[in-house]
Amino acid sequence: MPAPPSESPPPGGRRTDNGRANRARLEVPVQLHAGTASCSGITKNIGPGGVFVATTRLLRAGDRVTVALKMKFDTPPVEALAEVRWCRLHEGLDDEPAGVGLRFIDTPVRAAILANELRRSARSNAG
């Protein structure tokens, strides 16, 4: 579902989110679950407060989603609850991927575990 213009991310110069400075570039496949709907995506960057997930399935700002990373072997996925803060459509004029900006709203411990597992997964896939 396309996001209304008011839900688009603000232009780079107008962003007031200081937490972006602590973000790390990271590309790891994840699943997003919102109610009965589910879609896949790839993280592009992650920080202590949230994550950007590139996906063609755009959600509405304010939606709550579960971000799930399927671990190797038979262990259950690592999950964290997040809120959609903004959505971005892909526009053919730029190289920015379509996706959603998510703010972790789960307990800080679960969000930190997800962030650590995403980083570990990226390192193991790189080597």
Q: Are 96 and 116 in contact (CB under 8 A)?
A: no
Pick the closest to residue 50 from 25, 70, 20 (CA basis). Answer: 20
**CA-based radius of gyration for the chain:** 14
pLDDT digits (tens, 9 = 90+) for 42-58: 999 988 788 999 998 87
Contact 23, 45 (CB under 8 A): yes
pTM of the predicted model, to two decimals?
A: 0.71
Residue spans of the domains in the chain: they are 30-94
CA dihedral 41, 97, 27, 109 (to 10 degrees): -70
Instruction: Determine the pLDDT at residue 93.
Output: 65
Pick the closest to residue 116 from 55, 34, 46 (CA basis). 46
The backbone torsions φ and ψ at residue 121, rounded to the nearest 5 degrees and listed phi first, read -60, -40
Distance CA 71, CA 55 (A): 20
pLDDT at 23: 78
The tens digit of pLDDT for each residue in 77-111 reads: 788 899 999 998 877 666 788 999 999 886 667 66
